[in-house]
């Protein structure tokens, strides 16, 4: 099935536009627009930009070598695929760099960030998958 060889985020000037399965590349989320009633005049519908996950998204927790915990995102068809730790780590680094660059950080800050994640490795991938992101206290 998947090969973990693509970028799992598609960014534009406003940030992440599209989110893809890290394994096979199927779309699992992205920016979308929803209509909500205006606060001042509920009879009027306003278009609001939201960031949504599709129903096929699954999350798996990973442990990184700096003792932090992160989550990878895959589609429901890939929940039982074995996770290529090195390739996934690389995907995460590329996505972080992309986000950093697009968010307008200074070259100095980007370099510091790059240095910090350069040697990061995935130690463990949870076997259990979740249908929604777990919110953790830091
Ligand atoms: Zn997939």
Segment 11-24 mean pLDDT: 89
Residue 88 covered by a domain: yes
Asked which of 3-17, 19-33, 36-50 is least confident by mean pLDDT, the reply is: 3-17
Residue 133 covered by a domain: no
Residue 137 covered by a domain: no
Indicate whether 138 pLDDT > 60: no
What is the four-CA torsion angle of 20, 80, 118, 138, rounded to 10 degrees?
90
> Distance, CA 56 to ligand 1 centroid (Å)?
9
* Residues having C-beta closer than 5 Å to ion ligand 1: 21, 23-24, 26, 75, 78
Would you state the pLDDT for residue 104? 80
Would you state the pLDDT for residue 99? 79
> Distance, CA 20 to ligand 1 centroid (Å)?
8
Contact 67, 60 (CB under 8 A): no
> Distance, CA 27 to ligand 1 centroid (Å)?
8
CA–CA dist 48, 37 (Å, integer): 10
Please give the model's pTM, rounded to 2 decimal places.
Answer: 0.80
Would you state the pLDDT for residue 136? 57
Number of domains observed in the structure of the chain: 1
Q: Which of 45-54, 62-71, 95-104 has the highest mean pLDDT?
A: 62-71
Would you state the pLDDT for residue 80? 93
**Sign of the alpha-carbon torsion through 120, 123, 127, 133:** negative
Q: Which domain range does residue 34 map to?
A: 9-125
> Distance, CA 136 to ligand 1 centroid (Å)?
25
Strand order in the sheet with 69-75: 69-75, 57-64, 122-125
Q: 97 Cβ partners below 8 Å, 6+ apart?
A: 110, 113, 114
> Distance, CA 3 to ligand 1 centroid (Å)?
9
- The neighbouring-strand residues paired with 48 are 34
Region of 15 (left: φ > 0; alpha: ψ -120 to 50; beta: rest) is left
Residue 4 covered by a domain: no
pLDDT digits (tens, 9 = 90+) for 80-132: 999 999 999 999 999 888 877 777 888 898 888 888 888 999 999 999 999 98
Q: Count CB neighbours of 57 within 10 A.
A: 22
């Amino acid at each position: 099935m998947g090969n973990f060889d693509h970028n799992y985020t598609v960014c534009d000037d406003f940030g992440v536009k599209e989110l893809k399965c890290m394994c096979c590349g199927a779309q699992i989320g992205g920016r979308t627009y929803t209509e909500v009633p205006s606060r001042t005049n509920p009879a009027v519908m306003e278009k609001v930009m939201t960031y949504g996950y599709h129903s096929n998204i699954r999350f798996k927790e990973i442990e990184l070598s700096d003792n932090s915990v992160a989550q990878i995102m895959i589609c429901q068809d890939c929940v039982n695929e074995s996770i290529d730790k090195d390739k996934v780590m690389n995907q995460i680094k590329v996505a972080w760099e992309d986000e950093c660059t697009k968010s307008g950080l200074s070259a100095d800050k980007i370099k510091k960030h790059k240095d910090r994640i350069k040697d990061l490795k995935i130690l463990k991938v949870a076997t259990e998958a979740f249908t929604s992101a777990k919110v953790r206290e830091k």
